[in-house]
Structures are given as structure tokens and as C-alpha cells.
A = this chain, B = another copy of it.
Amino acid sequence: MGKKVSMAVIKRLPRYYRYLNDLLKVEVKRISSKELSERMGITASQIRQDLNCFGGFGQQGYGYNVETLYNEIGKILGVERRFSTIIIGAGNMGNALANYTNFQKRGFDLIGIFDINYNRIGQKVNGIEILHTDELDDFIKKKNVDIAILTVPSRNISEVAEKVVELGIKGIWNFSPQDLKLSHDVVVENVHLSDGLAVLGYRLKEKEENNSSN
């Protein structure tokens, strides 16, 4: 690939990937940037610009071949690469995530779930037995784990994150409200659920204001 692609484009790729998958399911073979634009609510010029970052897979006047585009975006995202993944924190959020079948489809194989609470140890979530966090050390080293999904309380998040990175974890998906800043060379994605809710609130308020001013 060579060229560095901006994070803004990267963040839109999973969305393209989902829409193309939906099109494939209903056996759509080709699609123009205009049609894709109407479905996705992104401007056609934005779509052409985004896809050009990767050399562009469209043909002037013919649109995009859905299957080719789907496969190429998949390659860019790395869905062909499997990531071995563990969840730390088997509370409600950990359980909900463990049951998401979508992760598996996208290349993330859940191979372990850990908790500190002895009452949860030995229970199964999505066929996987919950282990105690004391076993993390052995597990990560033996199984060559790539990614840890952290659904532990905020007060423990830094400690747990530092620990798993020392054990060789390369990527962290952090569900605690506190952004993780680690000294180590590790990839972190912080999830901020309430940001999405804040955007919903903004849009509702804006709509009310528009309605009352009409």
C-alpha cells in the first residue's frame, strides 16, 4: 500500500464493508457511487475520494463491482488475518460482547474470558469457560493472544492494561469511560458509548428547535 491513509477514512471502511455485505446478500453485482451514497448517507464525492485512497476499484460509468470492492476493503481491514482475542471482565458488558457473533465473522476469535470474581469462575459464556485473572500470565504466553477487550471497572483499568501489555498483548479495546494512556508500544481503541448518546441528544434538541422556529 505504501501511502498512509487517514484515520478518518479508515474509520469509514467498516461501514462500507457492512453495506457491501448487505448488497452481496441480496445478490447486487454492481453499484454506482451515487446509489451507495443514497444508501449510506455519505456524499458520492466523499465515497469516490475515500475509495481512491486505495487505488480506487471503480470504473467510470460502470460503478463498482460489489464483490471485488467488498473483498478489497476486507483485505485492507485485515479480515483475512485472524486475531486471537480475550475478554477481561465477565460482567454484563463482557457477557454481551462474548455473545456477539459479528466479531468472529470479522476475524476476531474469542479464545478466553477472565474475571477476578470467584463466583463467576467456571461458568461458561458462549461456550467458553470463565477463568480467573491469576491465569492470564500462562494463558497469554501459551496461546499467543493478540487483543484484550477490557470491560473492568475504571479504577482497575490502568493496572490491568499495563499487566496484559507486559504479557505481550498488542491491542487493547477499552470499554472503561477513562481513556487509556499507556507508556508501552501498544494499539489502543477507547470506546465511549455515551458519546453516541450525546450525538443523539444533540440531534433531538436541534430538531425540536427547528420545529419550533418553523
Which residues of A line the B interface, CB within 8 A? 10-11, 13-15, 17-18, 76-79, 81, 83, 91-93, 95-97, 99-100, 102-103, 106-108, 146-147, 170-171, 173, 177, 179, 187, 189, 191-205, 207
Contact = CB atoms under 8 A, between A and B. Distances in A.
A162 B66 CA distance: 30
A201 B100 contact: no
Given A11-B195, A97-B193, 13 more contacts: A14-B194, A17-B198, A76-B202, A92-B92, A92-B99, A102-B177, A106-B198, A107-B201, A146-B204, A147-B201, A173-B197, A173-B200, A189-B197
A152 to B, nearest CB: 13
B187 A106 contact: no
Determine the main DSSP class of A at the interface with B: helix
27 contacts: A11-B199, A13-B198, A14-B194, A14-B195, A15-B192, A17-B198, A18-B179, A78-B202, A83-B204, A91-B96, A92-B96, A93-B96, A96-B96, A100-B194, A102-B194, A106-B201, A107-B201, A147-B201, A170-B207, A171-B201, A171-B203, A171-B204, A173-B196, A187-B204, A187-B207, A189-B203, A191-B193
A40 to B, nearest CB: 9
A76 B203 CA distance: 10
Nearest to A4: B206
Nearest to A213: B2
Contacts of A92: 92-93, 95-96, 99
A25 to B, nearest CB: 12
A195 B105 CA distance: 12
The 3 closest A-B pairs by CB, nearest first: A92-B96, A78-B205, A14-B195
A130 to B, nearest CB: 14
Given A102-B177, A200-B171, A204-B147, A192 B14 contact: yes
B197 A106 contact: yes
A43 B191 CA distance: 21
